[in-house]
Amino acid sequence: MEAMFGLRTKLPVTEEERLWVEDGFRRLSRMLGASRLQNAAVVLPTDEFFPDLWDGTESALRKLFHRVCGYMGVDPNQVEVEIIPDASELLEALPAYRLSGQNGPAGLHFGGGEGERPLVAMRNSLLKDPLGAVATLAHELSHVILLDGGHLARDAEDMEPLTDLATVYLGLGVFTANASRNFRKYQDDHRAGWSMSRLGYLPETVFGYALARFAKERGEADPGWAKHLSTNLNAWFRQSAKWLRQESLPIE
């Protein structure tokens, strides 16, 4: 009945965006293996996943970093993590920490050179926002997986959007999707990070479709984790999931 009289569910994304998500999942499957999606733990903002006390200290950040690394399959001993001052003469003086826009980067990734470990850095103000800290770490650690792992070139046309999609593929999509309206991405030839903004490379609607595709590929008809999505994201997720049930499109 839903397909009759114009009642077929309409996607919240454009056809171009839908096809990009489908292609992105195929590429990530080739890069990382289909089992990474199937076996990923969907990480949630609960005590089950983050039992440590959060007091906004560097020590708390390092514990958080170790947990996010574990969920993403990254050895925390092979990656450096640092805190970036929100604004200082140091940031203005060092090209490596150059500000992007008024508020500057929320996080940065520096690829490891010969004999050096990759570095991910997060701005100091996120010590007051553990959910934003998880989202930022997930994004930067996806850079470690894709860039330092040799799967993706930094100058790839859609490097940043695909990095966002990788956070969904690896189970951290609830955090990055919920943060998507508060962050936009920053990159140049040598660095990549997130800057505070209302915009992002992946809009909330695209995150909603990507999460629906993630759930479908895992055979999750009504995943409990969806209740942790913001109101708008949950609506776009469910609208996309309904469309996918109608269309039954596989990722080849």
User: Above 70 in pLDDT, residue 72?
Assistant: yes
* Distance from the Cα of residue 55 to its chain's centroid: 24
Distance CA 10, CA 245 (A): 12
Helix (H, G, I), strand (E, B) or coil at 187: strand
pLDDT band at 212 (very low <50, low <70, confident <90, very high): very high
Least confident residue range of 22-31, 32-41, 44-53, 83-92? 83-92
pLDDT tens-place string over residues 138-161: 999 999 999 999 999 988 999 989
Best-predicted range by mean pLDDT (2-11, 72-81, 93-102):
72-81
> What per-residue confidence (pLDDT) applies to 184?
45
Q: Order of strands, edge to edge, in the sheet holding 119-123? A: 80-84, 119-123, 105-110, 192-196, 183-187
152 in helix, strand or coil? coil
What DSSP string describes 68-81?
A: HHHHHT--GGGSEE
pLDDT digits (tens, 9 = 90+) for 105-141: 677 788 776 778 988 988 888 888 899 899 999 999 9
DSSP 160: H
pLDDT at position 250: 56
Distance between CA atoms of residues 192 and 100, nearest Å: 10
Mean pLDDT of 21-41: 97
pLDDT of amino acid 85? 80
DSSP 194: E
Q: How far apart are CA 3 and CA 130, in angstroms?
A: 43
CA distance 150 to 144: 9
- Do 5 and 134 form a contact (C-beta atoms < 8 A)? no
Q: Name the burial class of residue 80, with classes exposed (0-12), middle (13-18) and buried (19+) by CB atoms within 10 angstroms of its CB.
A: middle
Q: Per-residue pLDDT tens for 92-101? A: 433 332 233 4
CA torsion 46-53-145-124 (nearest 10°) is 120
